Structure 1
Amino acid sequence: MSGGGALSLVDYAEEIVRSGFPAIRQLPPRARRAQLDGYLNRIVERDFPEQGHLVRRPDTLRGWLAAYAAATATTSSYNAILDAATPGETNKPAKTTTTVYRDVLSQLWLLDPVPGWLPSRSAFSRLGAAPKHHLADPALAARLLGVDVPALLDDSAPDTPVRRPGHLLGALFESLVTLSVRVYAQAAEATVHHLRTWDSRHEVDLIIQRADQRIVALEVKLSPSVSDDDVRHLTWLRGQLGDDLLDAAVITTGSEAYRRADGIAAIPLCLLEP
């Protein structure tokens, strides 16, 4: 495996904020931001009532959406997201209210979480089932958090509602990769999951499972290079699955695709193909 790509970290940050919506991504930046804001406002002001749910506290719903955006690529609990959306408030919405938020936003295809992988055949006995949070488009997460390309690149975004490991750009890059992988997986009649052991000792960002139960495993790294530490969860998984693991790769921001001596591939996102 070999090949070259020409996208830089700046290019990837710009791709995140450009949006994947065809009618929006070609607009000038100011018009694009206005369209994304309008889309989010319509969900709160029109789509929720049309689903039979009157939003009595629109600011709380908007705060919940921002907290969910801040939790991108994490498995933060929904209670933690609610607490982050309503800091200092003693009269928080009931859990049933936030369940409605989650369900309606999922029905509207705004939330697009990646479920935990629970294989039907393997030696695994204790895997986490909590979903990894993603919005349908990373540009929506960027708008909800009020960040642009410079803020993403220097990590100068305002404090996000949910505490998260690593940089926000890394989380939104993972969301961009996830969006691409889901498109390819759907075409291949495969499903997409993430893996986390119950004790969090091992995590794999994306598990693509075919109908025959065999899988491809992907890690996502906001880095142009791949270290031994970056592949340790993939090599562990290969030892667990044997021939059921078709392939494993790290998706990077680098310029070259290659296969390491240990058999793990390194693939720039711009070269990822189904």
Structure 2
Amino acid sequence: MEYRRRLIDQELDELFAELPAVALDGAKGVGKTATASARAASVVQLDLAAQRVAVVADPRSVLVRPRPLLIDEWQHVPEVWDVVRHAVDADRSGGQFLFTGSATPGEGATAHSGAGRIVRLRMRPMTLSERGIVEPAVSLGELLTGRRGAVAGETSLRLVDYVDAIVASGLPGLQGLSKRARRTSLDSYITNIVDRDIPEQGVAVRRPDVLTDWLRAYAAATASTASYTEILDAATAGVRDKPDRGTTTSYRDTLARIWVLDPVPAWTASGSPLKRLQQMPKHHLMDPALAARLLGLTAESLLDGEGRPLGPQEGTMLGSLFESLATLCVRVTAQAAEAGVRHLRTRNGDHEVDLIVVRPDGRVLAVEVKLAAAVSDTDVRHLRWLRDSIGDRLLDAVVLNTGPTAYRRPDGIAVIPLGLLGA
């Protein structure tokens, strides 16, 4: 299959020629190896036993290979991290080493963080534009300049297309598969998480059904700030012999370490007049298709309104999963623009903004996600409140929706169909 360039390729174009070592982190299947291999002169695959045995015996043996060298699934032999760190100390030339990893090794697995020697980039599933579904017309990078210029563009994408994108998955290997093959692949992905990936991290899964139910409950909490106690209670409803808190915490931490959980942290609003903000993360799995599959939801059932989110929030799972798709697209484009992504919710819940894109200087772009083709004054009330609260610190305000046209409202808030958002 011909390699399709990703937004992270733009980052690597800018960085790798100058930096001696770059690590791509992300869940299995997001395309790390394919992206890194396109730039490598040689590859050592540490998930293959034959190659791993040799490197375990002598980690420095990787240094004899031609460069750029890709060390794939490096977490299987974490000693290579320090080997490369020392090699970079001796030679700071750019473009020497690439790492890919589907897990963060546990505490103490590496002798040094690699700070100053090895740069880490997060890789996520494909955005709508990366899948070739639509050509973007509005740049998130431009929105982050704060110039608040005109936005324009038209798309033929409608609600049914976004629903298809939710269940289709952004994993490269699933693109173009039939619905049956895609469902089977996602089921296998979930089974492998429980049966292989978590045990590989040294965590015993004594009751796979309980872990699967916890994942299912987490999927139902998509785009919410439900407490982990609420998630556990939903996962073990009717179960007498409930797992203890330590067990489920271990599962949760390991799922995060293998990048399956991808929560959006709360915005702390440091240096702003905002007070009493909630600190709970907003829950997301790394791919909304995984959440839909865990909940047994298809494109047809989502359009029929089936599925209820965990907790008191209104609406159906379609709204939550559309927000998760939008969050994926915003996170990938924000990273390309050197920005982070958070969410905002006051402690009493009277104000919330779905996504806060934060520049390094602390100024922000506020993003609301609406499962609607039209946007009303009611839909932008929280954006107006934030603008009144933080003034010039707000670079711009945006509503991502399912409509056909990008435009600015009379109040200056941009309305952008999700499919038209690009880097």
Equivalent in the alignment of 1:199: 348
- Post-superposition Cα deviations, 1:136-158, rounded to whole Å, max 9, x if no partner, equal 0000001000010110001134x
Matching residue's letter, 2:173: A
- Give yes or no for the alignment of 1:47 onto 2:197: yes
Match of 1:145 among 291, 295, 312: 295
Equivalent in the alignment of 1:211: 360
- SS in structure 2 at match of 1:246: strand
- SS in structure 1 at match of 2:323: helix
Matching residue's letter, 2:192: R
Q: Note if contact 1:115-1:131 (Cα within 8 Å) is conserved in structure 2.
A: yes
Match of 2:237 among 76, 84, 87: 87
Using a 3 Å threshold, how does the CA distance of structure 1 residues 196 and 265 change in structure 2: closer, same or farther? same
Greater share of residues in helix: 1
Percent identical among aligned pairs is 59
- Give yes or no for the alignment of 1:245 onto 2:386: no
Equivalent in the alignment of 1:168: 317
Matching residue's letter, 1:203: E
Q: Note if contact 2:306-2:316 (Cα within 8 Å) is conserved in structure 1.
A: no
- SS in structure 2 at match of 1:13: helix
Looking at structure 1, the residues matched to 375 and 190 of structure 2 have their Cα atoms a distance apart, in angstroms, of: 37
Q: Note if contact 1:112-1:133 (Cα within 8 Å) is conserved in structure 2.
A: yes
Looking at structure 2, the residues matched to 82 and 68 of structure 1 have their Cα atoms a distance apart, in angstroms, of: 9
Structure 2: stretches of 5+ with no match in the other structure: 1-150
- Post-superposition Cα deviations, 1:186-230, rounded to whole Å, max 9, x if no partner, equal 111111000001111100000000001110000000000000010
Q: Note if contact 1:85-1:161 (Cα within 8 Å) is conserved in structure 2.
A: no
- Give yes or no for the alignment of 1:18 onto 2:160: no
Cα displacement (A) at 1:54: 1.1
Equivalent in the alignment of 2:106: none
Matching residue's letter, 2:320: A
State TM-score, norm by structure 1: 0.97
Looking at structure 1, the residues matched to 258 and 191 of structure 2 have their Cα atoms a distance apart, in angstroms, of: 13
Q: Note if contact 1:81-1:162 (Cα within 8 Å) is conserved in structure 2.
A: no
- Give yes or no for the alignment of 1:135 onto 2:285: yes
Q: Note if contact 2:222-2:309 (Cα within 8 Å) is conserved in structure 1.
A: no
Match of 1:112 among 262, 265, 278: 262
Looking at structure 1, the residues matched to 383 and 415 of structure 2 have their Cα atoms a distance apart, in angstroms, of: 12
Greater RCO (CA < 8 Å, at least 6 residues apart): 1
Matching residue's letter, 2:196: R
Equivalent in the alignment of 2:219: 69
Matching residue's letter, 2:189: Y
Using a 3 Å threshold, how does the CA distance of structure 1 residues 6 and 205 change in structure 2: closer, same or farther? same
Q: Note if contact 2:266-2:280 (Cα within 8 Å) is conserved in structure 1.
A: yes
Cα displacement (A) at 1:89: 2.0
- SS in structure 2 at match of 1:267: strand
Cα displacement (A) at 1:29: 1.1
Matching residue's letter, 1:64: W
Q: Note if contact 1:71-1:164 (Cα within 8 Å) is conserved in structure 2.
A: no
Equivalent in the alignment of 2:330: 181
Structure 1: stretches of 5+ with no match in the other structure: none
Q: Note if contact 2:401-2:417 (Cα within 8 Å) is conserved in structure 1.
A: yes
Q: Note if contact 1:84-1:162 (Cα within 8 Å) is conserved in structure 2.
A: no
State TM-score, norm by structure 2: 0.63
- SS in structure 2 at match of 1:43: helix
- Post-superposition Cα deviations, 1:35-79, rounded to whole Å, max 9, x if no partner, equal 111111001001111100110010000000000000000000001
Using a 3 Å threshold, how does the CA distance of structure 1 residues 200 and 161 change in structure 2: closer, same or farther? closer
Cα displacement (A) at 1:163: 5.6
Using a 3 Å threshold, how does the CA distance of structure 1 residues 272 and 171 change in structure 2: closer, same or farther? same
CA RMSD of aligned residues (A): 1.2
Equivalent in the alignment of 2:420: 271
Q: Note if contact 1:205-1:219 (Cα within 8 Å) is conserved in structure 2.
A: yes
Matching residue's letter, 1:213: G
Looking at structure 2, the residues matched to 174 and 156 of structure 1 have their Cα atoms a distance apart, in angstroms, of: 16
Matching residue's letter, 2:299: V
Equivalent in the alignment of 1:235: 384
Q: Note if contact 1:67-1:160 (Cα within 8 Å) is conserved in structure 2.
A: no
Looking at structure 2, the residues matched to 170 and 266 of structure 1 have their Cα atoms a distance apart, in angstroms, of: 17
- SS in structure 2 at match of 1:48: helix
Cα displacement (A) at 1:91: 2.2
Looking at structure 2, the residues matched to 196 and 49 of structure 1 have their Cα atoms a distance apart, in angstroms, of: 36
